[in-house]
Amino acid sequence: MDEGLPIAYEVLEKNVPVHASGGEVIGSVDHVVAAFHEDIFHGIVITTDRGRRFVAADQVDSLYEHGVDLGIDATEAANLPVPEGAAPVWRDNEPGVKPSEWKHLLGYFTPHGDRSGWTREK
């Protein structure tokens, strides 16, 4: 299976298949968990047949255009924790780039919530 070229977490897209260390597809990417402005990758939230699960960064071996390879087997993956907190709601132009809290706050004080260039994630 060709997973494409290696990529950075900043451009990992939703619905990319996630593979356990044995090669089994265990789910797909829901979203990246990171502090983008500080360039800190915390992990990913994946959608599985048992619901959403959190995969810590140290459990992610490789990121590719068309696949994510984990360093844990399918049994360990079945015991991944449910993510805490909410998924990101807004992003600024580029996938995976969340606008600063100040820009988000400013939107509440400007007429019609000036969110030019923002799109709502689904």
62 and 83 in a single domain? The answer is: yes
59 and 119 in a single domain? The answer is: no
pLDDT digits (tens, 9 = 90+) for 86-97: 555 444 444 555
Per-residue CA distances from 49 to 27, 53, 86, 104, 121 (Å): 7, 10, 20, 34, 22
| Per-residue pLDDT at 100 exceeds 60 | no
Q: How many domains does the chain have?
A: 2
Confidence of residue 109 (pLDDT cuts 50, 70, 90): low
User: The domain that contains 6 carries what CATH number?
Assistant: 3.90.50.10
Confidence of residue 2 (pLDDT cuts 50, 70, 90): confident
pLDDT (mean) for 18-36: 95
14 and 30 in a single domain? The answer is: yes
The model carries a pTM of 0.69
Question: What domain range includes position 120?
Answer: 89-122
